[in-house]
Amino acid sequence: MKKYEQVKMEIKKLIEEGDYIPDQRISSEYSLTQQFGVSRHTVRKAINDLVNEGWLYTEQGSGTFCADRNTNQPSEKTIALLTTYISNYIFPSIINGVESYLSSKGYTLLLYSTNNDLNKEKLCLENISNRGIAGLIVEPTKSNYYNPNLKYYLNLERKKIPYLMINAYYPELHPYRLTVDDELGAYMATEHLIKLGHGRIAGIFKTDDQQGVKRMQGFIKAHREYSIPILPNMILPCTTIEKDKVLNEEFMGLLNSEQRPTGLFCYNDEIALSALDVIREYGISVPDDLSIVGFDDSNLATASEVKLTTIRHPQFEMGRQAAETIIQLIENKVDGNPSIRYKPELILRNSTRKL
């Protein structure tokens, strides 16, 4: 890549991230040569290209300014949906809920996936910011960590483009949001096992998103309220990339121990199904030897011979209501900050039994 192209990319990045706002004068050519360590000729060529492409404009005797690119973008009724995944687990149902409502109202859906990667989220947000969208629905990436991409959301606010978040949210932004009461759901799942007589209950929790942390809180709260002590090694935290290692090492270790659990609560149905694979290797019977509860009531809950007791997630309904709410925000029909939290529901199947 030529030097002037690198300078163009850096200036575009400053605009996309909101460091330069429409009609703001950008740094002088001299300042930019110092900032990027290039010649004045290189800076001038980069600026000329950006002027020709509509990113900047010049005023004789005043300097170079950031263009308001929104005025040149189409006013189509387009909504972007940014999720961690698209084609697996509960996400197709959420997406169907969004798409069905938007299409009924004449809106177009743009679909993006971060694959639960913060750098991919950044790239998606850069692309979205250049597409002339009317609104954005987001499922946050690694929502339990600080997000380095907050400036993109603040830039949307500056442009008066509404957005809302589903399943979790970035607390720094206090956004419009639709979530499940994850703590209560985990409490209900754990309480169910306790009422069946289980005193040694293990829990596997993802800790890189808010849902996992809240579900761990509900798990611990149920133990405390029923005065059931928790053995420290019964809580198995993991990140997205660590979950297979935790299942194949730490969970296997629990199954081999003298204090083997009689109950297991899993962060979601996907992990519960993976745990079932490990359990089969040890010849342990579910639910005769070990009762299992999942979370989400996904299609995986009934995908094996063991039908999972689980907590229902309102997948399609959440997607439909997110689409309805973002249109209300676009049309300024929402007063205050709508924070919708769905009450969980325990779905009983044959993966649990009385001890």
Q: Is residue 124 part of a domain?
A: yes
Instruction: Please check whether residues 38 and 14 belong to one and the same domain.
Output: yes
Assign 3-state DSSP to the chain and report helix, strand, coil percentages, each to 5.
Answer: 45, 20, 35
- Supply the mean pLDDT for the chain: 91
Q: Is residue 353 part of a domain?
A: no
Taking a C-beta distance cutoff of 8 angstroms, is the pair 275, 263 a contact? Answer: no
Q: Is residue 141 part of a domain?
A: yes
Could you read off the pLDDT of 212-227 as tens digits, one per residue? 999 999 999 999 999 9
Instruction: Please check whether residues 307 and 190 belong to one and the same domain.
Output: yes
d(CA 268, CA 232): 21
Domain of 104? 74-180+315-342
Min mean pLDDT across 128-142, 186-200, 310-324 is at 128-142
Instruction: Please check whether residues 169 and 217 belong to one and the same domain.
Output: no
Residue with tokens 């890189």: 208
- pLDDT above 80: residue 13: yes
Report how far apart, in Å, the C-alpha atoms of 147 and of each of 152, 156, 198, 207 are. Answer: 11, 16, 39, 15
pLDDT band at 76 (very low <50, low <70, confident <90, very high): low
The predicted pLDDT at position 75 comes to: 47
Q: Are strands 78-83 and 135-138 parallel, antiparallel or unpaired?
A: parallel
Residue 336 DSSP code: S
Per-residue pLDDT, averaged over 247-251, amounts to 93
Per-residue pLDDT, averaged over 148-156, amounts to 93
Residue 30 C-beta-side C-alpha neighbours within 13 Å: 0
Share of the chain above pLDDT 70, in %: 97
Q: Highest mean pLDDT: which of 12-21, 57-66, 118-127, 185-194?
A: 185-194
How many residues comprise the chain?
355
Last residue within a domain, chosen from 71, 92, 114: 71
Min mean pLDDT across 49-53, 146-150, 161-165, 174-178 is at 49-53
- pLDDT above 90: residue 171: yes
The predicted pLDDT at position 301 comes to: 96
The predicted pLDDT at position 40 comes to: 86
Q: Is residue 277 part of a domain?
A: yes
Instruction: Please check whether residues 104 and 79 belong to one and the same domain.
Output: yes
The three-state secondary structure class of 73 is coil
Could you read off the pLDDT of 255-307 as tens digits, one per residue? 998 889 999 999 999 999 999 999 998 899 999 999 999 999 999 999 999 99
Q: How many domains does the chain have?
A: 3
- pLDDT above 60: residue 73: no
The predicted pLDDT at position 348 comes to: 98
Per-residue pLDDT, averaged over 52-66, amounts to 79
Token pair belonging to 313: 């997630």
Instruction: Please check whether residues 248 and 288 belong to one and the same domain.
Output: yes
Per-residue pLDDT, averaged over 165-191, amounts to 97
Could you read off the pLDDT of 299-347 as tens digits, one per residue? 999 999 999 999 999 999 999 999 999 999 999 887 777 789 999 999 9
The CATH number of the domain where 302 resides is what?
3.40.50.2300
Q: Is residue 355 part of a domain?
A: no
The CATH number of the domain where 33 resides is what?
1.10.10.10
Last residue within a domain, chosen from 71, 90, 108: 71
Share of the chain above pLDDT 90, in %: 68
Amino acid at 294: G
Residue with tokens 């039994």: 353
The three-state secondary structure class of 216 is helix
Instruction: Please check whether residues 34 and 101 belong to one and the same domain.
Output: no
The predicted pLDDT at position 190 comes to: 98
Taking a C-beta distance cutoff of 8 angstroms, is the pair 95, 111 a contact? Answer: yes
pLDDT band at 72 (very low <50, low <70, confident <90, very high): very low
Q: Is residue 349 part of a domain?
A: no
In sequence order, the β-bridge partners of residue 165 are: 138, 177
The predicted pLDDT at position 74 comes to: 41
Instruction: Please check whether residues 186 and 307 belong to one and the same domain.
Output: yes
